[in-house]
Structure 1
């Protein structure tokens, strides 16, 4: 896990030396520190800057959870799982996952923009602090959490000196070469804006078009208008609203309209989304880029680089102002539906493009769009008669829930969508088989069987052959993980035949072929397994598909190990580990690392093999029942452990396993990819035994195989 996810865009910080020092001191004495203040006063930037300055105190790092744009209180726990960089694919509640993760760690968690979810956040923070003595929480919001032991720091506006420094800094950024000829107008402007950083930034953003004196004059007129000439009655919150409103008044009609419409976005957004959602007869799509550029120049919209490319966002205070105007225009519901339609379309495009060379791009795009996809799902669930859209969207995102390690959140949305009757059978059928797939990978066989049986029965009645094929496929997967190889082979074969008849070809279909190959391996038909996976590998190379390719490589690596070709097995597994880690697919990753441990033992390095086995332990905790409770899938672990214990002894083996168990996920992957060169210790020469045979997957290590040989490497 990365030590920090603090955003680069908040790295530029001016002033507030006293407040920075005060918060740092509070963090040394309190486990919960909350910075409170009006919108725009600089709470977020202060919290991020403090976190940067104290992160060396926390050996397990600093993590930021931005909650301002969350609408559904039930997603708070999932948002923190995301912020902590966790990939948990079990059916455990996300709060339990969070508590287990932080229990023994010394880390700082920064919560930003929680005030509209204060009850949910307070309960979560209380539980985390009780369960994790090494955890410290720094919160930033408009109100305190009101928990025992909470230190609250009200953040006042900036001092006159700091306000001037900030304004001049932002003025130069907006207008390179800017120099205040007369400092008095700048000081007066900062005083009238009460030293509120957001107001100062908005004012500085006007300098390409206005002089400081013109800005001051216009603002002065507006203050008198709003306060009837009584400057003293203007509270600081009203000052901010006044500054934002003044900036809004100076916008052109097109800019004001786009500002209002942008408020429907729940997180980062790209230009394509803006052009679709916000355009219309009064704002043609071809004008959107120019108008957006003007809002960027005025600090109404911010730009940020992300793994998915250039994205834009609005600060929550600015967005809230725009939302009020959108309500006043009576256009909120229409814009929310357009927003939902865009992200429905985006999800559909991503599902199709998942089976292409753009798979990594799809993963990054969906990750960036997650806050907006949540908002779209929430709207579908809220609106009467739109449950079918929620079912369709939650089902369409299967590639993200399964392929990118988001099983728990996927289960949340699928369960909520399927709790409603939609009257649209196709949408329900898709959500059902996706729920079955997710539940299988979470180790929840009861829920999986229920969903897949319902899907199969309803699909037969509806004459939906494709849904029948998918439910059959996933029942075969369930049989595979339940060690019923004949039934798994029969069901998977039937599903693949149906896919061929229907002309269906995608990552799911190829995964079914890999799963069929695994049944062949477990029944000692390596030749058939290799043929199936070579075909999958060729299709993946032709289509640029990488996620399913990794699973095919796993089977081929197992076959190479069985032939005694350890170098080829390691090469295949190195690629497999790299792909699975990139997609956050813990199921594929832990299987590959366990097989890599067996290869390492077979190469003659039982110590490193034990480390890799230890590293797999925490991954299984995040995946579900170790080895899915399968005697077949556990064979590589048993064989590796038997050999390593024989050569190292139980005590040294346990010590190396503990060393591996202490590695973070990123460290474990780096260790696996480093190979045996990482360690110098290890026995000289290969382990005892002859050419490897196909082991009986259900027998303990060291017992005769089904073909009469000893399972040695």
Structure 2
């Protein structure tokens, strides 16, 4: 059974924490206080000190304080600042369907949202990040930004928080002081117990543990790497080993700050303690961007003929697990698949080894080849039960695919494989909607590979489809003209593919008669050649055009033939669109009951694929059908559909035949509802997250407000405040400062501050002004305690 590709909670994409978070309570409160007072907070510090973990924990604790949630963007593997806006847009769930620039799309999307954006590892893109963040903060009043970087962005209003290493005991303190109060000790013991389950802090090992934490200067990543060694060493041996070898390991980096030398030495020490096979695999998998899976690692690892030693690759699963055990890699199961991850600081050591051995280009080429093959497999198996799995896999691999395309662009003579990858992803691109970045890559690679090859023709075809979907018709026609001329030279099957493409352009150019003629001709060619995928695709397109022209019998006949191919094959994407079109045709024929069921069946498939365009169309269609007899429901559905259109930067207006349905629906609703009621219901629909909107459209549960839209009325009941906290909240609402509150209640200023911090956390707020508003909305409170 295929696992649904349903999106995570719409309010957040924060990665799951794989290990316990230890300490930093005061720092977390400081950062949250800074975010309540400043719209830009930057966590600075050297690599390995824990900036990312702190940012993630603070973001998780503040999640309910933002109407539109928290979004996390990892920038560590992004090398080209030109892709920064698109990377952020992707993390926000946006799709580059419009022809606007990515920064303009971001501004438009964020302008009306209240959201916390976490930008992680910004230092290598600091200038580009600063420019974009400045633009967003100036134009999006509900946006707050939390960044991690080795240096500040240096923007006006930025609050900079330097993340310090964890606290460690001074020499000799371990004899008289409880060690658990030191954060470094707590972290080391926690990680040690994870690898040696019976490990505890005892009188016998406390001095050694304290010495280890002092030697590693409280650096979290260094402590985690060291804790793994307790599998083979006692704490005493580990402390002694660090002392004996540390000076040797820090040589060669004397110009680095002390703690950076400590971190580099710890990574180098871990590298030296690995077997030769483990070092090789560490280096090989360092070419991945972010996460990777076992089959990708197998594709990248060179054979014995390539490297002269195939021991590492022959034992790859075992070696990867060994690297996980040593904390070089982290492993997480996603959708039934194990994905491995390497931190940037550790990754750089692997890259250095590849450079030393002259293997970096070879490994980057193997990495590229794996993703070209993945794209080919996606095209080959598109009409199959594996389709949804392939869509989900490609979504997970976007960072690696961008890295593969960068190699094709940067390395002389390597452009054609990149064009092949793009050509193979036509259908995935239509489903996922990342047209803007896709067209940028095509523009770069087509200029580098002008030879009149079949690969170039197929790349021109995909680029044409994506331009058409953006409504960018003039460039689309230019791509079509060049591709058609090249197809004439190449002959079949390329000629038929361009007949189909010409029909697609005609359909979007509001020339349905010409589109039907071209699709019919292409369909004959695809049937003749046995191309099942393109036969099915063309049947869907023909069904849609016939519906627009009112030829409903032919539309439904195309739908029936499409189902006859797609259902037995276990295919979902073509089938979902065919069902939606059949719903439109059946509704036009007067059978509303069947139309609703067909539209809902399509929407269920779209939910399994998490395809925003199809979900938006499904919600709109059910609104159109409901409008004449249930205007309330129809308006709520239109408001919910608007969320999808904003995320993917398009609407029904992109296709003339569809937009007329939308306009007629609006006219019917405006006639039945006054303007205030219409706006109220629209907002009710817009307040639904994707899952709630689909549930409502399918009648699977009544409309409920988006979880985080309602957080301040749901979570901020005040029931979880103590009587003292309620009393302090009332004083805050009266405008008293913490100093005034302390004086009034005869408590210390620090105690007053702590109470206010607890109130903010419990109520899910980020600023005192939210307490004031909340108190003003509450009924008169009962008498509070005194003293």
TM > 0.5 between the two? yes
Which of 623, 629, 635 matches 2:660?
635
- The answer to whether 1:224 aligns with 2:232 is no
Contact 1:455/1:471 (<8 A) preserved: yes
1:299 partner SS: coil
- The answer to whether 1:351 aligns with 2:376 is no
- 1:79-135 CA distance string (max 9 Å, x none): 111111223422222211111111111111111112111122111111111111111
- The answer to whether 1:141 aligns with 2:168 is no
Separation (CA, whole Å) in 2 of partners of 1:211 and 1:271: 33
Match of 1:690?
none
Contact 1:557/1:572 (<8 A) preserved: yes
- The answer to whether 1:239 aligns with 2:259 is no
- The answer to whether 1:274 aligns with 2:297 is yes
Q: Bigger shift: 398-407 or 50-59?
A: 398-407
Which of 499, 510, 513 matches 1:486?
513
1:157 partner SS: coil
Cα shift at 1:26: 1.0
Match of 2:542?
516
Separation (CA, whole Å) in 2 of partners of 1:46 and 1:513: 52
Which of 402, 405, 409 matches 1:374?
402
- The answer to whether 1:613 aligns with 2:638 is yes
Contact 1:122/1:145 (<8 A) preserved: yes
1:273 partner SS: helix
1:385 partner SS: coil
Q: How does 1:91-102 map to 2 (within 5 A)?
A: 91-102=99-110
Separation (CA, whole Å) in 2 of partners of 1:233 and 1:629: 55
Contact 1:248/1:256 (<8 A) preserved: yes
Match of 2:368?
340
Cα shift at 1:444: 0.9
Which of 15, 20, 34 matches 2:28?
20
- 1:347-403 CA distance string (max 9 Å, x none): 211222222111111011111111111111100111111111121112222232211
* Cα-Cα RMSD: 2.4
Match of 1:502?
529
Cα shift at 1:524: 2.2
Q: How does 1:166-185 map to 2 (within 5 A)?
A: 166-180=187-201, 181-185=204-208
Mark the CA change 1:115 to 1:308 in structure 2 (over 3 Å): closer, same or farther: farther
Contact 1:67/1:111 (<8 A) preserved: yes
Mark the CA change 1:228 to 1:499 in structure 2 (over 3 Å): closer, same or farther: closer
Separation (CA, whole Å) in 2 of partners of 1:486 and 1:347: 34
Contact 1:355/1:543 (<8 A) preserved: yes
Q: How does 1:110-129 map to 2 (within 5 A)?
A: 110-129=118-137
Cα shift at 1:465: 2.1
Which of 140, 143, 147 matches 1:132?
140
Match of 2:623?
597
1:109 partner SS: strand
Contact 1:11/1:49 (<8 A) preserved: no
Contact 2:250/2:265 (<8 A) preserved: no
- The answer to whether 1:162 aligns with 2:183 is yes
Q: How does 1:44-443 map to 2 (within 5 A)?
A: 44-160=52-168, 161-180=182-201, 181-226=204-249, 235-281=258-304, 282-284=309-311, 285-307=313-335, 309-423=337-451, 425-443=453-471
Kindly indicate whether structure 1 or structure 2 has the higher relative contact order, using CA contacts under 8 Å at least 6 residues apart: 2
TM-score of the superposition, structure 1-length normalised? 0.90
Separation (CA, whole Å) in 2 of partners of 1:624 and 1:80: 15
Cα shift at 1:55: 1.8
Contact 1:112/1:139 (<8 A) preserved: yes
Q: Bigger shift: 140-149 or 372-381?
A: 140-149
Mark the CA change 1:138 to 1:676 in structure 2 (over 3 Å): closer, same or farther: closer
Cα shift at 1:447: 1.5
Unmatched tracts of structure 1, length 5 or more? 680-713
Q: Bigger shift: 6-15 or 664-673?
A: 664-673
Separation (CA, whole Å) in 1 of partners of 2:250 and 2:527: 73
1:483 partner SS: coil
Cα shift at 1:11: 6.0
Mark the CA change 1:106 to 1:622 in structure 2 (over 3 Å): closer, same or farther: closer
Cα shift at 1:14: 0.5
Separation (CA, whole Å) in 2 of partners of 1:330 and 1:676: 60
- 1:548-581 CA distance string (max 9 Å, x none): 1111101211232234332221111112123234
Cα shift at 1:9: 2.8
Separation (CA, whole Å) in 2 of partners of 1:220 and 1:115: 32
Cα shift at 1:647: 3.5
Separation (CA, whole Å) in 2 of partners of 1:248 and 1:625: 50
Which of 565, 573, 576 matches 1:539?
565
Q: Bigger shift: 650-659 or 280-289?
A: 650-659
TM-score of the superposition, structure 2-length normalised? 0.82
Mark the CA change 1:424 to 1:196 in structure 2 (over 3 Å): closer, same or farther: farther
Cα shift at 1:63: 0.7
Separation (CA, whole Å) in 1 of partners of 2:646 and 2:15: 30
Contact 2:639/2:681 (<8 A) preserved: yes
Separation (CA, whole Å) in 1 of partners of 2:42 and 2:99: 32
